[in-house]
Chain A
Amino acid sequence: MIQFSRKFWNILTFTILLTGFLWIRYTATHFGPGTNGKTPAPHQGFLAPDFTAQSLSGEEVSLSSLKGKPVLINLWASWCLPCRKEMPALEQIYQDYRGEGFTILAVNATNQDQIEKVNTFVKEYQLNFLILLDENGEITNAYQLSAFPTSFFISADGIIQEVVIGGPMSEALLRSRVEHLLEISKSEAP
């Protein structure tokens, strides 16, 4: 009885593990990894949706024109308290890493804000990175904004590496993420 039970169990175990192994082999060749890196979507692992917007100084800027550079897109509004709190850290990071090709696009949700307040805000915090105006909500829609602030860390190949919803982000968080982006960008460079 003991021998039969053990034998039965051993056969059952072997059959289950062999089936599992064959499933892994089969799905490796028949179930591909997909097209995440080529599909635009506001999620980690996907291509960052492209957009063109006017900056506060009046120039037209598109995300695709920055390909080859690690980019942080920060969606914000002047009335949002966490957005205000994280701006000095964003400015500091921009100053520290701009020499290595890192860029910040701070997209203001102008359809939910007032341009005068945006101007005052930028002067108050002495921001030097690009402030883009999303006047009709196209960018916030494309990036499926669910809370202010939301930040997208994008590597040089245009792929979203991380999405941080909410804030304020600490300087250490920003620094560690930007260093990670720069590392990825360097490893991908030809």
Chain B
Amino acid sequence: MLPILQIGPLAIQTPGLILLLGLWTGLYLSEKYAVKKDMDPGVLYHLVFWALISALIGARLSYIFEYSQAFIANPLSIISINPTLFNWWAGAACALIFSLWYGQRQNLDFWLTLDLLTPAFATLSLFIGIAHLASGNAFGSESNLPWTIELWGKRRHPTQIYEIISSVVVLGIVFGFINSKKPLSKGILFLMYLVLTSSSKLFLEAFRGDSQMIGDFRLAQWAAWLCLAVGLWFLGKRMIPGMIKDFNNENTQDQ
């Protein structure tokens, strides 16, 4: 655990730094993939940049509405750079709505854009795991297994390590598909990533010690199950015609 990186008088929040690094690395890899696909990488940068700006604005505005009395007393805090004055769920919703609107306005191909962003998503997932390890968040439930770690007063499942390992595997599979010589139908790469990530989330969430519960159930598991269902449904719809097309092409070439 290394929540703070002390450089002289500067105390840098390590998890935030790791997330920024993850975003930068992910975007760099997505840009390279876009070039490989003969696409303009600038389109991705603009999309991500404006999505982030809309997320920040949406997250702050939502927080202001939630605690309006606090901001009426201190209006200058509206522009405070403090990262805890945000409602990140509202920010994510704003970024999603903005991205859909921007994509439609710029005539971006929906599935191709998601494919191009997949290296960024997969890389960011890995860095989120590393950020969790640095902060001690997303910790595991109590256990006596031999590989448990001492954290927050108990021996626990090293869920942050599980998260990193599963992200590395998913990242490896994503890059395996990217570097494969067989072309993929549009959307397959993203949907593969979605199915793999939601499967691992569904499985690993059970070992978390800080899950948000609804009754006896973990909310994140249901969300992952839903994402898995959506991913599998779209994957089936998009992959089966592609498989048949490839099969027919191969047969034609053989003749």
Say whether A and B bind each other.
yes
Asked whether A31 lies within 8 Å of B141 as measured between CB atoms, the reply is: yes
Q: 0/1 per residue, A153-184, Cβ < 8 Å to B? A: 00000000010111001111101100100000
B207 and A173 form a contact (CB under 8 A):
no
* Interface size in chain A (residues, C-beta < 8 A): 43
A173 to B86: give the CA distance in the assembly, Å. Answer: 10
Q: Per a CB cutoff under 8 Å, which of B139, B211, B236 touches A10?
A: B236
What 1/0 flags go to B207-234 for Cβ under 8 Å of A? 1011101001110011011001100110
B contact residues, total (Cβ < 8 Å): 53
Give which listed residue, A13, A146, A171, contacts B4 with CB less than 8 A.
A146
Q: Are B13 and A16 in contact (CB under 8 A)?
A: no
The chain A residues found within 8 Å of chain B, CB to CB, are 1-2, 5-6, 9-10, 13, 16-17, 20-21, 23-24, 27-29, 31-36, 39-41, 43, 45-46, 146-148, 162, 164-166, 169-173, 175-176, 179
Contacts of B165 in A (CB 8 A): none
B240 interface residue (CB < 8 Å to A): yes
- Contact present for A2 and B240 (CB under 8 Å): yes
Nearest-Cβ distance from residue A142 to partner chain B, whole angstroms:
11
- Give me the interface of B with A, judged by CB distance under 8 Å: 3-4, 6, 11, 13, 63, 66-67, 69-71, 73-74, 76-78, 80, 82, 84-85, 136, 139, 141-142, 152-154, 199, 202-203, 206-207, 209-211, 213, 216-218, 221-222, 224-225, 228-229, 232-233, 236, 239-240, 243-244, 247
Q: How far is the CB of A38 from chain B (nearest CB, A)?
A: 10
Q: In the assembled complex, which residues on chain A have CB atoms less than 8 Å from the CB atom of B141? A: 31-34
Evaluate whether A170 and B77 lie within 8 angstroms (CB atoms) in the complex, with A5-B243, A13-B233, A165-B4 already known.
Answer: yes
B85–A23 contact, CB under 8 A?
Answer: no
Inter-chain CA distance A119–B76, complex, in Å, is: 31
Contacts of A46 in B (CB 8 A): 152-153
- A-B interface, 4 closest residue pairs, ranked by CB to CB distance from nearest: A172-B77, A175-B70, A27-B206, A176-B67
State in angstroms the CA–CA spacing of A162 and B83 once bound together: 13
Query: How far does the alpha carbon of A107 sit from the alpha carbon of B71 in the complex, in Å?
Result: 27
> Which of B141, B224, B247 is packed against the most chain A CB atoms within 10 Å?
B141
Interface hub of A5, A24, A148 (most chain B Cβ within 10 A): A24
Chain B residues positioned under 8 Å from A24 (CB to CB): 202, 217-218, 221-222, 225
Residue on A with the closest CB to B75? A172
A31 near B152: Cβ-Cβ < 8 Å: no
For the complex, give the distance between the alpha carbons of A179 and B6 in Å: 32
Distance of A163 from chain B, by nearest CB (Å): 9
Q: Given known contacts A23-B206, A33-B209, A33-B211, what 16 new A-B pairs fall within 8 Å (CB)?
A: A5-B240, A16-B199, A17-B225, A24-B221, A31-B206, A32-B141, A36-B152, A36-B209, A36-B210, A41-B152, A146-B3, A148-B11, A171-B74, A172-B78, A175-B69, A176-B63
Chain B residues whose CB sits within 8 angstroms of the CB of A10 once the complex forms? 236
Chain B residues contacting A45 (CB-CB under 8 Å) are: 210
Chain A residues with CB under 8 Å of B63's CB are 176
A32 and chain B: residue at smallest CB distance:
B141
Residues of A within 8 A of B84 (CB): 162, 164, 173
Establish whether residues B11 and A147, one from each chain, have CB atoms under 8 Å apart when the complex forms: yes
- What is the bound-complex CA distance between A43 and B216, given in angstroms? 23
CB contact under 8 A between A6 and B236, given known A1-B247, A164-B84, A172-B74: yes
A166: chain B residues within 8 A (beta carbon): 4, 11, 13
Query: Cβ of B221: which chain A residues have Cβ within 8 Å of it?
Result: 23-24, 27
